[in-house]
């Protein structure tokens, strides 16, 4: 083999090794930078999502507290809750047979309202404004048992 051919072959092989080494180095450094940037962006997104969830929870708590204050005020206005035997009533209106109280709290607060009664280890819904989506009608008071 001529010296020029050998020189071309050695230089070509050397160029391939140098370019391959630079490529591998670039890939490894870029991979680390991409992982660092991705972690940073993911942490920012998690923090933003956390702030959104906290704001939503705060708003929900405020709505629940407002509905509780409205319910307490209406209950006090109507003379409080009374128990006559096994029946509960507010202002002379039975909770089991009507939904006037929960409807009024719902109308004033915009919140879904349910009243539960404890029987043994279970809680029975006795009055509610929650609607069943399939049937699209109000639940009959006392018709739905809530699991423990």
| Residue 30 in this model has a pLDDT that exceeds 70 | yes
| Residue 146 in this model has a pLDDT that exceeds 90 | no
| Residue 135 in this model has a pLDDT that exceeds 90 | no
Looking at residue 137, its pLDDT comes to 41
The DSSP line for 24-71 is HHHHHHHHHHHHHHHHHHHHHHHHHHHHHHHHHHHHHHHHHHHHHHHH
Looking at residue 94, its pLDDT comes to 80
Q: Which residue has the tokens 């929870």?
A: 57
Would the pTM count as exceeding 0.75?
no
Least confident residue range of 18-27, 38-47, 139-148: 139-148
Using CA atoms, how far apart are residues 56 and 46, in angstroms rounded to an integer? 15
Using a pLDDT cut of 70, give the percent of the chain over it: 89
| Residue 76 in this model has a pLDDT that exceeds 50 | yes
What average pLDDT score do residues 113-124 get?
82
What average pLDDT score do residues 129-135 get?
64
Looking at residue 11, its pLDDT comes to 94
| Residue 143 in this model has a pLDDT that exceeds 80 | no
Using CA atoms, how far apart are residues 6 and 12, in angstroms rounded to an integer? 10
Residues 6+ apart with CB under 8 A from 100: 93
Using CA atoms, how far apart are residues 67 and 73, in angstroms rounded to an integer? 10
């Amino acid at each position: 083999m001529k010296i020029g051919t050998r020189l071309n072959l050695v230089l070509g092989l050397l160029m391939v090794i140098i370019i391959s080494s630079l490529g591998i180095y670039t890939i490894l450094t870029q991979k680390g930078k991409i992982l660092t940037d991705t972690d940073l962006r993911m942490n920012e997104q998690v923090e933003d999502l956390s702030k959104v969830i906290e704001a939503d929870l705060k708003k929900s708590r405020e709505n629940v507290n407002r509905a509780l204050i409205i319910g307490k005020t209406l209950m006090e206005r109507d003379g409080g809750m009374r128990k006559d035997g096994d029946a509960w009533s507010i202002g002379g209106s039975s909770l089991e047979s009507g939904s006037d109280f929960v409807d009024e709290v719902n109308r004033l607060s915009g919140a879904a309202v349910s009243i539960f009664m404890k029987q043994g280890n279970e809680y029975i819904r006795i009055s509610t404004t929650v609607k069943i989506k399939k049937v699209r009608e109000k639940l009959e008071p006392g018709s739905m048992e809530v699991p423990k």
